Amino acid sequence: MPPERYRTLRLHMIGPEPAMARLGYSSKLNTERDFLRRLRDLGRARADSFLRAHRVELGRRGTLDLRSFV
């Protein structure tokens, strides 16, 4: 496809909270309210951190380098 047909994409990724790495596979089945609230709070804190770091870039340029995944 010719380059002029490509669309400009502004990709972003909010990476996982480091605490998630300590969770075992059984956590996927955990439906306890306190556990789910903890996940929600971790996600919100991670999103807030991302927005503080990248707010000025949103809508202007992407913050995700896809080449880092190759």
**Tens-place pLDDT, residues 6-38:** 778 899 999 888 888 889 999 999 999 999 999
Q: 14 near 53, Cβ under 8 Å?
A: no
Q: Give whole-number Cα distances, 32 to 10, 25, 27, 43, 51, in Å.
A: 36, 15, 10, 17, 29
How many CB atoms sit inside 10 A of residue 44's CB?
Answer: 10
- pLDDT exceeds 70 at position 1: no
What pLDDT is stored for residue 41 in this prediction? 95
User: What are the structural domain ranges in the chain?
Assistant: 3-65
* CA–CA separation, 58 and 1 (whole Å): 27
**pTM for the full predicted model:** 0.74
